[in-house]
Structure 1
Amino acid sequence: MNKRVGKQTIELKTKPRIIATTSVVGPKEGEGPLSMYFDKILKDDINGEKSFEKAETSILIDSIKETIFKGNITEDKINYIISGDLLNQLTATNFAMREFKIPFLGIYGACSTMAQAIGIAAMLIDGNFAEYTIAATSSHFSSAERQFRMPLEMGSQRAPSAQWTVTGSGSMLFGTKGNFPFVKYVTTGMVKDYGVKDANNMGAAMAPAAVDTIKQHFLDTGRKPDDYDIIATGDLGSIGRKITQDLISEYGFNLGKNYIDCGEEIFDHDRQKTHSGGSGCGCSAVVSTGFLYKGLVEGKFKRVLLVSTGALMSTTSSLQGESIPGIAHAVSLEVGV
């Protein structure tokens, strides 16, 4: 059976079910406007560990373990974990997987990793390669700052266009049965690079990829923006969201009031001084496993298009003067028939 729809989209005929989700966030995220939707809010961002990197590993472990518990199954029933993070060679994720006896696929899509993981986890179910899978990601403000920008101890000033890496982890458990929200479409993005080199303006670097994937999703599926209750990009922030909204209108699509950005929603930017908004693998992860998933379960939303966006740079590429390639992956999360 051919499940491809158009150029870049797959229609999942079996509708893989999202049985349970968990969101774990840091204290700053817990003070933001979406705090009521998060399952666990840390008292401090080091979470009792000796380093920020170990703390990130610990919140990923907490998120996955709680999701397994909520799903009322045991580890031996789960066929795959698909997960990734921002740190060198997936440090946080690889170390977290020592705690689980589950086959593991480590992936890297920068901040697009959550939608990428959801797509792979759902396709494994739909292809009858697995009965249960988990999609998860994590990020941590301080570990990301140390790797990609400047260590916090240096007290560097942040540009107004800069984004605040979310301290958080989100995970989803997928299965084949039950009256749960499901994944209908997976649209895999292409790398887009329009020459942006400013690492303090990742929203501008990622926006063209978001536009390309959203446009292609509509062309492939025949759907329109109004077919979704929410269209949520991953972490473009306020600047990237506006660019995306302007650029996609040139293709004849008006995203309108149902378009939000996870990075813009997770913080109160004026009060919390997060400048352009949130970012990081954990950004779209905790918003999708918290606000969006619970909205689907409670009947507030029937269709959500999650478009996680990633800036595919590295510390090496930035020092060599390279531009910042962007990527975006889209998954439709739905309830009903």
Structure 2
Amino acid sequence: MAKRILIALAVVGGAAAVAAYAATGPNRLSETELAELPEGDAERGELVFWAGGCASCHAAKDAEGDEKLALGGGLVLQTDFGDFVVPNISMDPQDGIGAWSEEDFANAMLRGVSPEGSHYYPSFPYTSFARMEMSDIADLWAFWQTLPSVEGATQDHSLTFPFNMRRGLGLWKQAFLSDAPAVELQDPSAEVARGQYLVEGPGHCGECHSPRDTAGAINYDLWLAGAPNPDGEGRIPNITGGEGGIGSWSASDVAYYLESGFTPDFDSVGGSMVGVQESLAHLPSEDLEAIGAYLKAVPEHATSP
């Protein structure tokens, strides 16, 4: 009898293990979804590139001019989970992503899945990129083909247990990865809707400007209310109209700040926001105004604790 019980327990345990392994597997884009990828346009893709601030993390520190297009990575992000190392995403076929297909790129951007089928950590902000349109993914990939190849593989992440177990990210994604809007706005204008797309999607502003819970997921109840600096010093500011935020700024003030790097009080941009601002300055003025209009439309929050 005892032997039968042990066998039954082993069978149940084995079945549970198989089910758990299947549940944590990669969720790639379907063939139907991939068929929606249009022919990309590199010129439009360059604007998506700057909207996404790709250079602010993947280019060398203090890069200027065309050096911002050399995406060799290497930046180390120190977090409570360990150190995340920003990878080489240049067109080098060995050390970068030069050997990827467009489908590989789309799966990485929208699902956080590598060509080999492993999960990317959400230090790569696919949780925001999941909201991007297929046309922007195709355009961005077309622009990527024009970027230089940079030799040199980056180091692996250095994470503590159990966060070094990538497979577990499958469950994390089931709980937190969604293409739903971060906030629901009632009848937004076309300008506000455009700003929402830029901020919540390619711009991934909430990844730094919103607090996170103990699982590392964004707290959408305090969307854009400020958060600890992922670089380890100071705080990322509240960019809503609530107490401690940018309530005194107009949409045009926001646009001017993103274009010039100067606040309405003529203070200048600093810290990690420098690279972000320099990237966003490449966008047309109507997009910067749209970002400002969206930030004036989001729910107001006092600065998060």
**Higher strand residue share:** 1
TM-score, normalised by the number of residues in structure 2: 0.32
Query: What TM-score, normalized by structure 1, do the two folds share?
Result: 0.30
